[in-house]
Structure 1
Amino acid sequence: MGDLKTVKCVVWDLDNTLWQGTLVEDPEVVLVERIRSVVETLDARGILQSVASKNDHEPAWAALERLGLGEYLVLPQISWGPKSTAVRVIADRLNFAYDTVAFVDDLPNERAEVAFHLPDVRCYPAADAPGLPDRPEFQPTITVDSRRRRAMYQAGFHRERARETFAGTDEDFLRTLDIRMSIVQATEDQLARVEELTLRTSQMNATGVHYSAETLRGFLDDPGHEVFVISMSDRFGSHGAIGVVLLHRHREVWHLKLLATSCRVVSLGAGATLLRWLIDRSARAGAHLAADFRRTDRNRMMEVAYRFAGLTDEDCACVRAIGIAGRDGIEVLHIRPAPQPAPTTMTVEAPGLGGPVVSGATP
């Protein structure tokens, strides 16, 4: 696949693309089975799907429901505005980079309009739609969360609407969610999902480094390394596996090689909670904490999270002693940790690197 990124979301035109026929001319549009199969296959692979169509919303949505397609779609954009605007809205709401979005349309002028305004979006003619699942960019790593991805995003939209109607502060709202974070040591069965997290996360990825399942398997067999998988849930449902931590523990310093979390849980404070847990655990072990950070064009938020947690550019002897400074554009941030208070907006179940620990908000 080279540098070709996996598609995270397919945006469909409707007329003569997702269905056959033009709705304003004939309300009895039809769905051919090979396109239904494509929709179901992409959904099972965890690729989200949406719509950018020039139609009246109400009859178009009614047709989608009649054809059994409505449940597969997130954030449909059905109006008479430019399709580039619709695609931009979908990508921005999902927080996806434009080069992970695909647009499918039967009309060359519509594809050209999207390509002109959003050159990173990949555009495909409707005639190519039946073969999309066979293309490498539509073949992500399949994990236990893949089939649930659409449902998890839909639950997120329900959560957003609940926040809009909540009168209190953000912190008060988070307390109503009954958020639970689980931090567990990765197992062999979870390696595919851990690898996927290193690939899919970009904004909340400290280094942008992809770790293959084979490399991660080597860390599982190394007693000096810890690989953690982080999952979350709340009253709206499961978020699935949302983060990964790769830690190399030395006697005087813990080396955080990777911290990556899904952008879906940024507003829930997932990254900050993980960092506080690591700082607290290293403090109780009497070790400093050193974290790799490599700037990318997407991960400014992760640097802010590290800095806000108290990590600095301090040139500590503990970092020099284990020889981790100045590698491949990677900066090493450092903190002399202190014990951290328990989180107030979620309950954390995590190993104490010596035993289980449960902390945080009580139900």
Structure 2
Amino acid sequence: MKHPRGAAAGLPMRRQSAGHHPARRVPSATEPASARPRRWPRWAWWTGAILVLALAVAAAVSHRHKLAGASHLLAHVSGPGLAVAVAFEAASLVFLAALQRWLLRSAGGRLGLGTMAGVVVAANAMAGILPGGSALSVAWTVRQLQRRGIALALATAVLIAAGVLSALALALLVALGALAADPAGRAPGLRTALLASAAVLAAAILLAVCLIRSARFHRAARHAWTYVTARWRAGRRLADFLAEVFHQAKTIQPGVRGWARPFGMALGNWTCDAAALAAVLWALNIGVPWRSVLIVYGLTQISISLRLTPGSLGIAEASLSTLLVIYGLRADQAIAAALLYRIVSFWTLQPIGWTSWLRLTLRQTRAQPGTGGSRGRTGGPWRLTARHGRYHTPRDR
């Protein structure tokens, strides 16, 4: 879906007063192409996506006999095993919703788990299929939280914290998978590289913790930020917003031991999804490579997060099937497992997510006829007041 910009999107255009530079002129259709603004990044993205899909189709045609074997396996999938995979996938989404809800509640926010789960499922569907869906889903999630009385800075801080915890949990899962893998087994070099990367990441986290606790680093950072914002006019607004986000993030202070609970939720999100992959293999009557399943799963999720194609179509299937073949599965088994896992973890969630998106949108429209603001009450039993602004977080209905 294209998003109009400027006046076409209904946005007010600033008048230019004396002493200001004139507004940038929009080139007409009669001007040469060199004078028009370039849009090559968007075309480059689509070109890359089409190229990847074309390569996937070519690979499928050249491996028709393996696809035939995969289709035979899919035709004889076990119902109980498939149900277990679906249950683990549902539990994974519940863990993700519980993580974001816990972070909100620790800062004083109030939001039901059902509502948070609906927002998470809808945002997951947006991120999975739309071009630039990750950014759109984040913006939509923030907007939904705002309409439920959560301040912009607090919503941003919660999503950032949830993203950091999820990234660390996935890194831990991959590191555990590398430790569990057989040193003398398949792809020992990959295992060594993953362990080295985990050691570098652990050192970087330790350094970041030391810097955060250093008063000298805080003073240097404040001086540098003041210098930048004093010479960059737009940076002042950004500085105010980031200061507000940081202030709201500091309200999420469960203590060192308290962080174990949200980290456990983030780890549960990935673990249940990895268990869904193992259940898919079981449903296809394929032996699960237990010592390497975490490496296969973690590296597949990293490739999916790159979003090189809409929904990582072709990328996810190729990555998962290739890694499964590397760690001992036959090609037809790997293809069948990759396709069924994507059906469970991606395609099944798309209609559910868009149904949730439509339900939340229609409820929002009915609750706010003819208005553009939130219907929530101002005030309530608690209120969060920003240090650098006047954001108030009313209680959710």
Q: Normalising by structure 2, report the TM-score.
A: 0.21
Where relative contact order (Cα < 8 A, 6+ residues apart) is larger, the structure is 2
Which structure carries more strand by proportion? 1
Larger Rg: 2
